[in-house]
Amino acid sequence: MSRPMRQASVIGSGPNGLAAAIVLAQAGLKVDVFEAEEQPGGAARTLPLTLPGFLHDFGSAVHPMAVGSPFFSKLPLAAHGLSWIHGAAPLAHPMDDGTAVTLEQDLGDAEKALSEDGIVWRRIVEGPVQNWAAFAGEVLGPMLHLPRRPVLLAKFGLNAVLPADTFCRRHFKSARTRALFAGLAAHSFLSLDEPLSSAIGLVLAVSAHAVGWPVPRGGAQAIADALAGQLRDLGGTIHLGRRISSLDQVPQGLVLCDVSPRQLLAIAGERLSPTYRRTLGRFRPGPAAFKIDYALSDPIPWNAKECLRAITVHLGGTFEEVAESEKAMATGRCAERPFVLLAQPSLFDPTRAPEGKHTAWAYCHVPNGSRVDMTERLEAQIERFAPGFRDCVLARAVSTPLDLEARDANLIGGDISGGAMSVGQTLFRPSLRQYATSSRDIYLCSSSTPPGGGVHGMCGFYAARVAQRRSGR
């Protein structure tokens, strides 16, 4: 008589939840995924937020970590419709003189473009770029681990631990290069004078050269749909419109939760020990995003035409201005001139808008749960570098931090990082147990576990591996 198939349930169908489900299904478990919304993907969804025919990414839009993910790259996602589109350059950072600093994908081209800082830029990133697979395997996982490539990781780590302002003063002569790196480092949601604020900037810089900053054709939904297709091929089932408020609502067996620590406390209740519940209760959400999606009549009229070569544009001016914006956020204020991250995917992916029309996606950083309307300040930054932008706007969909949480319960107070990226919460995320909880059958696989936010699936991958090992399944 054959043994019954072992059961696993995954709560949440973001990229991490789907990654965890795929790992478990590959191991022969019967996997059911429960998703509260009517489509899979979590923050990696594409929605009609403005006008008919315009497709907007609800959360992340540009995906270096997805195309470079050690786990995703091993899956046949192209067979499920996923294809990548690159801009002519990964990134542009316009300046007030009407020009822009560009980050070129080819390392030789980047060295030339960065002029007097080109040689030192190349020296800093070349090792990780040339060894991307090994590097990604080291940094896209728990920070505290026994490295397989200790020399590679040590060289990276010596710079990564630095505050971004110290890193730039130490390495770069040009104000333009410092501005470019400020925008990269600001993705960390840290003040640029805080330790580790260089780390995310360096990883993003390396990824730009190693794998590029592409968008998926048709929007971020294509990533979730490809992962869902792969899971179904392995026999897994996804239940949409099934909000789980208690673990009593899922079958007995392993449970992996692609949710925030706050949600895990609510749905697991007394199945977790009092000590562990207290630990989770101390986990702090990070700052928030204030986001606007645009339907446009024309491409954005940038002063610097180099901006039309890039899907991603960073708007903030000098290093000092970007740092001032991020310092305001870190001290509970909303910047008067916020650093703005903008994506213009329709320049390279015509599926996003009706013929001749365009989309744009932009957000700035604000304190968690902020109710300040940043529309005017955000658009003033776009107009600063693209006069006449507002004349191109056919419609806009404004998402406050609370709007983001309403569309995805994981985004507590508008936090898109899965928790504050302080030193303690980066090293031990969300606790010393990381993916494990006080129950041998319950695991956390969201971006509140290592390596943190981003569409890479590695939180789910590692959580599923730990769950299998600890449970003997």
Residue-wise pLDDT tens digits, 384-401: 999 999 999 999 999 999
- Can you tell me the distance from the alpha carbon of 392 to that of 295, in angstroms, rounded to the nearest whole number? 8
* Burial class (CB within 10 angstroms; exposed 0-12, middle 13-18, buried 19+) of 27: middle
pLDDT value for 471: 77
Burial of 59 (0-12, 13-18, 19+ CB in 10 A): buried
pLDDT of residue 200: 94
User: Given this model, what pLDDT does residue 147 score?
Assistant: 74
Phi, psi angle pair for 469, to nearest 5°: -65, -45
Read off the tokens for 341: 């991250």
pLDDT, tens digit (0-9, with 9 covering 90-100), for 265-299: 999 989 999 999 999 999 999 999 999 999 999 99
Say which DSSP state 436 is in.
Answer: B
Q: Cβ(99)–Cβ(252) under 8 Å?
A: no
Q: Structure tokens of 62?
A: 């540009």
Contact 303, 94 (CB under 8 A): yes
The pLDDT tens digits for 60-102 are 999 999 999 999 999 999 999 999 999 999 999 999 999 999 9
Phi-psi region of 196 (alpha: psi -120 to 50; beta: other; left: phi over 0): left
What average pLDDT does range 45-62 have in this prediction? 96
**Mean pLDDT across the chain, nearest whole number?**
95
Between 458 and 4, where is the model more confident? 458
Mode of pairing for the β-strands spanning 358-366 and 254-257: unpaired
Residue 269 DSSP one-character state: G
Asked if 365 and 287 count as a contact pair (C-beta separation under 8 A), the reply is: yes
Task: Write down the pLDDT at residue 1.
Answer: 34
| Percent of the chain clearing pLDDT 70 (strictly above) | 99
Average pLDDT over residues 125-146: 89
